[in-house]
A and B are shown apart, each in its own frame.
Chain A
Amino acid sequence: MTFSVQDVSVSYPTSRGWVQAVRNVDLQIRPGELVGLAGESGSGKSTLVLAATRVLKAPAVSVTGRVEIMGQDVFAWSDKELRAQRWQTFSFVTQSAMNALNPVMRVRAQMHDAMRAHDPHYQKAKADKRCEEVLRIVEVPAAKLDSYPHQLSGGQRQRMVIALALLLQPQLVIMDEPTTALDVVAQREIIALIRRLQRELGFAVLLITHDLSLLLEVADAVTVMYGGRVMESGRSHELLRKASHPYSRALIHSFPPLHGAMQRQEGIPGTPPDMLNPPLGCPFAARCVMATKECGEQMPPLTRYGDRLVACHHVSEQDFQGAGVIV
């Protein structure tokens, strides 16, 4: 496993109590895989990866569980080891591209800094060449290397951060909403390029996005979170064909169509749970069309059906029989 998250829970202490942002999450990524993490805004996606890569640590958060990157226990690393691994073994594209870049440094200088810190054989000319290489991957004109972040468009900033993440060829690249500022052409183009690089170099990618349609198109496997918990996970093509959890089903069915008749759509009525006082039962119960009394009272366990994991009281073995859904 390149990346393994085992039973991780993360809470934020606030003056009003603990915000239970992530609850008992498991996630596995094998070498060369592209795994997607989807879910509603506020469902805990960023919190999970920020805590798993120790960007967030005590006392800002309380974290339990275990995280391994390339078989090593991340929480056992010293700060020095962590610094040595970051960018080199794993890299992390945070959700805010602006915050990931130093606003008072030109992009080129920031890239050189990263290379100098990790490469004992650092050479300026070689480093410049590498900068240009990664800019070609993300398709930003090399001239933009000498821009300050505020001189770049939203999409160019995001591409720069992706370039920075690929710079040292890490084994694991975690990207949190890396393409929100990119048009669909560019979005697919960059993901396709990352796919190709992955095949050549064998690194793994965790892609966080609210855009389930993109994930189902490009990812090998997808995990769907809601209210801090994993609701469903499985291979993308299977999920696309038949999502089992009512939340993932609702997500897949609420795309406004590009063509055809136009009508008002309602999405999923209701609002997400208050994570300060999370519901006793299934976090989705208040908005779920299938919810019964049991759902409001008891958290459904995440249950395995072949390749699929689903947490829902109203999904059972029968839903996976016939049709060869379990591969």
Chain B
Amino acid sequence: MSAELQAGRHGAPLVIDQVHKRFTQGRRVAHILRGCSLTIGAGEIVALVGESGSGKSTLARTIMKLYTPDEGKLLFGSEDVTHAKGKALRQYRERVQMVFQDPFASLNPAHSIRTILRRSLPPSARHYSERQREDLFDEVLTQVGLTPASNFLQQFPHELSGGQRQRVALARSLAGRPDLVLADEPVSMLDVSLRLGVLNLMLSLNERFGIGYLYITHDLASARYVASRIAVMYAGEIVEEGPAEAIVEEAKHPYTQLLVQAAPDPDRRGLQELDESVFTGEPPDLSREIQGCPFQFRCPHVMEKCYESSPPLKDLGNGQKVKCFLAE
């Protein structure tokens, strides 16, 4: 077992503090992360939900330091990693791993699964014997349901189905036993049964080794299943966060309420039963400055002041925080 890799490690909290990220495309500047703040405690599972294009992957990539924040800070434990370079950056990236959203683009097509896994091992695993390494690979592949592991180790990404690639990507992130895994939609291509298997795996690794997760998903039910806290992103800001239960049962932000209302429910049938009016409207144009609340364009409760200034983050006391004037 790879307890050795884990020995002497203590997870550390990751603090994302008022992070901004802009992209320039020709003359247009798109302001994708707009003062985004979130803390992931050591060994905590936090789910990040929010609509397509809201900036979830950008946030994960920024945490990974694939992008440098234009403003704001990233703290990991006691270290400020906002501008980490060289050795400090390498060490940080050993402890924080990412599972990319698109498993068709993130696995090197020229490498067998064995090579992909071998390359993911941190330097601390370099002294492993061939045997120990194979055992570790066998273990992580079996954990994600790719059996017999010996078959899969020889295969190349193009020989795998979408869901199988997704599980290789997850196995890769686990092989080095990091402190924190940024998992961007890691189970989106898996059916419920396998999905439960992978979610249970995340839970058990969390319990056994204290691995923390930022679990990015569109599936609220699975967010509630694995995460202790859920953060909801809209237009590059966290508009609501809190204990998973509270977010699902007592969402305060109109956008979260919309998400909960639209979540699939096996007991309900037919699209027509959904209130169509909540679907109208588009996400805001991020290449323009937004004055006021970013949800004003779609909000069923929009008020005069929502156009004028952006709502402050209100702490409800139970760990739930909301950015909406209604919560005042």
Interface residue? B105 (CB, 8 A): yes
A18 → B minimal CB distance (Å): 13
Counting contact residues on chain A (CB < 8 A from B), the size range is: 35 or more
Q: Is A153's CB under 8 angstroms from B52's CB?
A: yes
Query: Which residue of A99, A181, A184, A250 is within 8 Å of B185 (Cβ)?
Result: A181
Query: Which residue of A40, A181, A210, A264 is within 8 Å of B52 (Cβ)?
Result: A181
Q: Is A98's CB under 8 angstroms from B218's CB?
A: no
Selected interface stretch from B71-79, B175-183, B257-265, B316-324 = B257-265
Known contacts A181-B101, A266-B196; is-contact A210 B49 (Cβ 8 Å):
no
Q: Which chain B positions have C-beta within 8 A of A11? A: none
Interface residue? B193 (CB, 8 A): yes
Q: Is B104's CB under 8 angstroms from A96's CB?
A: yes
Q: Is A184's CB under 8 angstroms from B105's CB?
A: no
Interface residue? B86 (CB, 8 A): no
Interface residue? A177 (CB, 8 A): yes
Q: Which chain A positions have C-beta within 8 A of B166? A: 41
Interface residue? B192 (CB, 8 A): yes
Q: Is B104's CB under 8 angstroms from A183's CB?
A: no
B303 → A minimal CB distance (Å): 23
A213 to B195, CA, bound (A): 14
A187 to B51, CA, bound (A): 10
Q: Is A191's CB under 8 angstroms from B271's CB?
A: yes
Q: Is B271's CB under 8 angstroms from A218's CB?
A: yes
Q: Is A41's CB under 8 angstroms from B189's CB?
A: yes
Known contacts A181-B52, A184-B259; is-contact A41 B219 (Cβ 8 Å):
no
Residue count of chain B within 8 Å CB distance of chain A? 68
A12 to B248, CA, bound (A): 45
Query: Which residue of B53, B105, B192, B224 is within 8 Å of A153 (Cβ)?
Result: B53
Q: Which residue of A lies closest to B51 (CB)?
A: A183
Known contacts A189-B279, A255-B266; is-contact A262 B225 (Cβ 8 Å):
yes
B154 → A minimal CB distance (Å): 8
B21 → A minimal CB distance (Å): 13
Interface residue? B18 (CB, 8 A): no
A-B pairs under 8 A by CB, number: 182
B139 → A minimal CB distance (Å): 14
A14 to B269, CA, bound (A): 43
Q: Which residue of B lies closest to A44 (CB)?
A: B161
A92 → B minimal CB distance (Å): 15
Q: Which chain A positions have C-beta within 8 A of B35? A: none
B258 → A minimal CB distance (Å): 6
Kindly supply a per-residue 1/0 record for chain B positions 181-221, scoring 1 wherever the CB is within 8 Å of any chain A CB and 0 otherwise.
00001001111111111011001000000000000001111
A45 to B190, CA, bound (A): 13
Q: Which chain A positions have C-beta within 8 A of B221? A: 255-258
Selected interface stretch from B6-14, B121-129, B145-153, B304-312 = B145-153
Kindly supply a per-residue 1/0 record for chain A positions 178-206, scoring 1 wherever the CB is within 8 Å of any chain B CB and 0 otherwise.
00111111111101100100000000000
A225 to B299, CA, bound (A): 41
Q: Is A259's CB under 8 angstroms from B102's CB?
A: no
Known contacts A14-B159, A154-B101; is-contact A256 B191 (Cβ 8 Å):
no
Q: Is A217's CB under 8 angstroms from B101's CB?
A: no
Q: Is A155's CB under 8 angstroms from B189's CB?
A: no
Q: Which residue of A lies closest to B30 (CB)?
A: A151
Q: Which chain B positions have C-beta within 8 A of A214? A: 264
A217 → B minimal CB distance (Å): 6
Selected interface stretch from A82-90, A108-116, A139-147 = A139-147
Query: Which residue of B28, B190, B218, B266 is within 8 Å of A183 (Cβ)?
Result: B218
Q: Which chain B positions have C-beta within 8 A of A210? A: 163, 189-192, 195
Q: Is B57's CB under 8 angstroms from A98's CB?
A: no
Q: Is A276's CB under 8 angstroms from B105's CB?
A: no
A145 → B minimal CB distance (Å): 12
Kindly supply a per-residue 1/0 record for chain B positions 122-144, scoring 1 wherever the CB is within 8 Å of any chain A CB and 0 otherwise.
00000000000000000000000
Q: Which residue of B lies closest to A189 (CB)?
A: B279
Q: Which residue of B lies closest to A39 (CB)?
A: B191
Q: Is B262's CB under 8 angstroms from A217's CB?
A: no
Kindly supply a per-residue 1/0 record for chain B positions 206-245, scoring 1 wherever the CB is within 8 Å of any chain A CB and 0 otherwise.
0000000000001111101100000000000000000001
Query: Which residue of A12, A143, A188, A271 is within 8 Å of B287 (Cβ)?
Result: A143
B85 → A minimal CB distance (Å): 24
Q: Is B162's CB under 8 angstroms from A259's CB?
A: no
Interface residue? B4 (CB, 8 A): no
Interface residue? B297 (CB, 8 A): no
Q: Is A212's CB under 8 angstroms from B162's CB?
A: no
Q: Which chain A positions have C-beta within 8 A of B162? A: 41, 46, 95-96, 177
Interface centre among A147, A153, A187 (most CB of B within 10 A): A153
A222 to B148, CA, bound (A): 30
Query: Which residue of B57, B163, B193, B219 is within 8 Å of A251 (Cβ)?
Result: B193
> What would 6 A/B residue contacts be, using CB atoms closer than 8 Å?
A141-B282, A154-B102, A155-B51, A184-B219, A255-B221, A258-B221
Q: Which residues of B contact A (CB under 8 A)?
A: 23, 25, 28, 49-53, 57-58, 101-102, 104-105, 145, 147-148, 151, 154, 159, 161-164, 166-167, 185, 188-197, 199-200, 203, 218-222, 224-225, 245, 248-249, 258-260, 262-266, 268-271, 274, 278-279, 282, 285, 287
Give 8 nearest A-B pairs by CB, closest first.
Answer: A155-B52, A41-B163, A96-B104, A267-B196, A210-B191, A267-B193, A180-B188, A268-B193
| Given A16-B154, A184-B218, A188-B271: 15 more A-B contacts, CB < 8 Å | A42-B164, A141-B285, A143-B28, A143-B285, A151-B25, A183-B259, A191-B271, A212-B192, A213-B264, A240-B269, A256-B221, A258-B224, A259-B249, A267-B193, A271-B147
